[in-house]
Homo-oligomer: A and B are copies of this chain.
Amino acid sequence: MIFRQLFDAESSTYTYLIADPASRQALLIDPVLEQTERDLTLVQELGLKLTHVMETHVHADHVTASGQLRERTRCQVVAGAGGASCANVHAKHGDEVHVGALTFQVLATPGHTDDSVSYLLGDRVFTGDALLVRGTGRTDFQNGNAGQLYDSITQVLFALPDETLVYPGHDYKGRTVTSIDEEKRFNPRLAGKDRAAFIQLMDGLNLAPPKMIDIAVPANRACGLTSSAPQA
């Protein structure tokens, strides 16, 4: 498998380029509009064909590159059921996405937003903002729900094997990956906390709104292709 983790420093977003080396079919998870040229250059240099963009949710902190990438490569855009209306595929829990010989299993992991999904590929899971390194996504906008997030993490993600590598949608301290085992034991929002304690913690965070939310959410519902979206 070809695997590249990529970082957008402005929004601290991780994008993942993954490809099947035999067929050269490739996908990007959560691409960022401003990084379109970087990512397409890498796809081209590695001799890959971009067939899919997979979104973990409608983002509030950056604008997706999915629409531009679809226009330029004719790839399919995959989102969770209830996710961006512009997507070609709205995937439900239990669905599979095939990219060459690679099979991604779709896990519904709502709570940060109501459309949040994670993608499982073998021993790696891409959790978007549901589960972060020693943290979780917030639950105070876009139909976020702390109880639902607790259930998604503890019943869906923590049901994966302990050694599963967790690749998050963001990190703000330079960490690139974690594991299910580590998050069970060391995630300060979850370890030793029951559902009620988690809800109380999340409801008390009192975070400022993401600075890009008013631009990013409507833009991302249209795959980043609105007149008000920034241009790459």
Contact = CB atoms under 8 A, between A and B. Distances in A.
Given A9-B9, A45-B182, A182-B45, A4 B176 contact: yes
Contact of A6 (B4, B5, B174, B182): B174
Chain A: interface size category: 20 to 34
A38 interface: yes
Contact of A8 (B4, B174, B186): B174
A176 B5 contact: yes
B6 A175 contact: yes
A175 B45 contact: no
B185 A38 contact: no
Nearest to A176: B5
20 contacts: A4-B175, A4-B176, A5-B5, A5-B176, A6-B174, A6-B175, A6-B176, A7-B7, A7-B174, A7-B175, A7-B176, A9-B174, A15-B174, A38-B173, A38-B174, A38-B175, A42-B175, A45-B182, A45-B186, A176-B176
> Which 7 residue pairs of A and B lie closest in terms of their CB atoms, listed nearest first?
A7-B174, A5-B176, A6-B174, A45-B186, A8-B174, A38-B173, A9-B174
